[in-house]
Amino acid sequence: MEDSNDKVYGILAYIGILVLVPLLAGKTQFARFHANQGLVLFIADIILGVCISITSLVLSPLGIVGAILGGIVSGVLGLVVFIMVIMGIINAANGEMKPLPVIGGIKLIK
């Protein structure tokens, strides 16, 4: 890590819209790596939210069964995103550049 703010930028990258801070201010490879990981995770979270909404609409005619199924799907996916956020924050705080599971290989930022 070259910049003293790198760990802060790395951590902020995983906190929702705060991914913009390291995207705009982070100049080092470390900050840009975590900004990329955080941006991909943020976009994935938005896409999952849309998918959950669509699933809820599709399952709503099933009444209580649809609500229960929608709640389970929403809860599981939310937990997966939360775990990935924690993993990213821990990696950034430890000064590591480890890619996240599943989405870690996606590069949006060079």
26 and 32 Cβ atoms separated by less than 8 Å:
yes
Q: Which amino acid is at 35?
A: A
Whether 100 maps to a domain, the answer reads no
Does residue 106 belong to any structural domain of this protein? no
Tell me, yes or no, whether 108 lies in a domain: no
Residue ranges making up the domain that contains 58: 6-93
* 110 within a domain of the structure (yes/no): no
* Residues 12 and 35: beta-carbon distance below 8 Å: no
pLDDT by residue for the chain (110 residues), tens digit each? 566 788 999 999 999 899 999 988 888 999 999 999 999 999 999 999 998 888 888 877 878 887 888 888 889 999 999 999 999 999 999 999 999 999 988 998 87
Amino acid identity of residue 10, one-letter, is: G
Query: In total, how many domains does the chain have?
Result: 1
- Within-domain flag for 63: yes
73 occurs within a structural domain? yes
